[in-house]
Amino acid sequence: MGLGAEANLGDSIVTTKLDQAINWARSYSMWPMAFGTACCGIEFMSVAAAKYDISRFGAEVVRFSPRQADLLIVAGTISYKQAPVLKKIWDQMCEPKWVISMGACASSGGFYDNYTTLQGIDEVIPVDEYVAGCPPRPEAVLDAIMRIQEKSFDESIIKERATNFKGILDA
Which stretch, 5-13, 76-84, 146-154, 155-163, contacts other proteins (CB under 8 A)?
Answer: 76-84
Rule CB under 8 A: say whether 168 interacts with other proteins: yes
Angle between helices 18-27 and 138-152 (to 10 degrees): 170
- The residue among 28 and 111 lying less far from other proteins, judged by its C-beta, is 111
Question: Between residues 52 and 98, which has the closer beta carbon with respect to other proteins?
Answer: 52
77 binds other proteins (CB under 8 A): yes
φ, ψ at 11 (rounded to 5°): -85, -10
- By DSSP bridging, strand 98-102 and strand 71-75 are parallel
Question: Which of 22, 26, 31, 46 is in the footprint of other proteins by CB under 8 A?
Answer: 46
For residues 115 and 162, which CB has a smaller minimum distance to other proteins in the complex?
A: 115
Give how far Cα 112 sits from Cα of 16, 54, 86, 109, 167, Å. Answer: 49, 29, 18, 6, 20
CB closer to other proteins, 122 vs 155: 122
Which amino acid makes up residue 131?
V
Quote the CA–CA distance of 62 and 51 in Å, as a whole number. 17
The answer to whether 101 and 126 have CB atoms below 8 angstroms apart is no
Instruction: Give the C-alpha separation, 136 to 106, whole Å.
Output: 11
Q: Does 140 bind other proteins (CB under 8 A)?
A: no
3-state secondary structure of 61: coil
- Residue 156 near other proteins by CB under 8 A: no
Interaction of residue 118 with other proteins, rule CB under 8 A: yes
**Residues 104, 75: Cα–Cα separation, whole Å:** 10
Q: Does 50 bind other proteins (CB under 8 A)?
A: yes
Question: Quick one: which of 70, 71, 135, 144 contacts other proteins (CB under 8 A)?
Answer: 135
Cα–Cα distance measured from residue 96 to residue 80, given in angstroms and rounded to the nearest whole number: 26
Select 41 or 125, whichever has its Cβ closest to other proteins. Answer: 41
Q: Which residues bind other proteins (CB under 8 A)?
A: 35-39, 41-43, 45-46, 49-52, 64, 76-77, 79-86, 89, 105, 111-119, 134-135, 137, 168-169
